[in-house]
Chain A
């Protein structure tokens, strides 16, 4: 069935460090792929998305490229800030038309000054 496997955390980085959070998926066809972020006390917010192979989603300095050949959608940021501390969720929406999302477990990122 459709699923997302996400790098387990927690991840602790120093400010200005490079961030990668790995995400791979299993799905038939061409799902849409998403990264959501949850700041403390808030709901999940859409960070970026890609709807077809080789698309790059980007927002707030974060990027992820939809790689069909490796079934991956890794999240990257070149220089993290303390304010990026949050839980990051990778998710997919299947091609079939039902738009319920399949999520990973989430990765908690803590950025220290």
Chain B
């Protein structure tokens, strides 16, 4: 069965460093998402991406964050200058289309980001 993959599974970085989290969505999917979960808190939506541009973003997704689909398969989340509070599990997801309640979002296993 097709699945969303994410690399690395765990990333440790120092405060102020740039990180890139990578995701390979399911191949025929058109919509891509990033979510994050700070330990003990809710899973929060960050951004959705379609047709090579951001379609929605949350208040969390500020100028320190960017997303890109650099080739036909990868979908990346970049944090320019990491802060301690960026430590979280980051989940990538993809869906075939976007009709309310009709198309499942498929999630990857997550990348645990630890900022020291």
Contact = CB atoms under 8 A, between A and B. Distances in A.
Interface of A: 4, 32, 36, 38, 41-46, 49, 51, 89, 91, 93, 95, 97-106
A99 B45 CA distance: 10
Q: Which of A44, A45, A46, A95 has the most CB of B within 10 A?
A: A44
A93 B101 contact: yes
A76 B91 CA distance: 26
Interface of B: 3-4, 31, 33, 35, 37, 40-45, 48, 55-56, 58, 91, 93, 95, 98-110
A11 B110 CA distance: 23
20 contacts: A36-B107, A43-B3, A43-B91, A43-B106, A44-B93, A44-B107, A45-B107, A89-B43, A93-B100, A95-B100, A99-B48, A100-B45, A101-B35, A101-B43, A103-B35, A103-B37, A104-B42, A105-B40, A105-B41, A105-B42
Contacts of B98: 99
Nearest to A97: B100
Nearest to A41: B109
B100 A102 contact: no
Nearest to B98: A99
Contacts of B42: 4, 102-105
A38 B93 CA distance: 13
A77 to B, nearest CB: 21
Contacts of A106: 37, 43
A89 B110 CA distance: 15
